[in-house]
Amino acid sequence: CRDSDGQLHEFDSHWKNADCYDCSCSRSGMNCCSSFVTPVGYDEEKCVSIFNKETCSYKVVEKDDHSEECPIHEWVG
């Protein structure tokens, strides 16, 4: 299988790509799915979600002060 970066992967292999998706390759093709959940239940006027590619996770913080986390009431994934 050839991934979106042009790298070749052997059949029956598994990897996490640069965008934090879990991928696998089989004789029937390549499949990638999200390995993280996305916050949706927070005050979007006061807060912003920031994705960290190193930890493959979101953090929701105040727009005016990124050191202050916001409460999250719902996640989707």
pLDDT on residue 77: 75
Contacts of 8 (CB under 8 A, 6+ apart): 1, 2
pTM for this entry: 0.72
Do strands 57-62 and 29-34 pair parallel, antiparallel, or not at all (unpaired)? unpaired
At 16-65, the pLDDT tens digits run 998 999 999 999 999 999 989 999 999 999 999 999 999 999 999 999 99
Domains with residue ranges and CATH for the chain: 1-35 (2.10.70), 38-76 (2.20.25.590)
Q: Residues 3-12: what's their mean pLDDT?
A: 92
pLDDT tens-digit series, residues 42-55: 999 999 999 999 99
Q: What is the mean pLDDT of residues 70-77?
A: 90
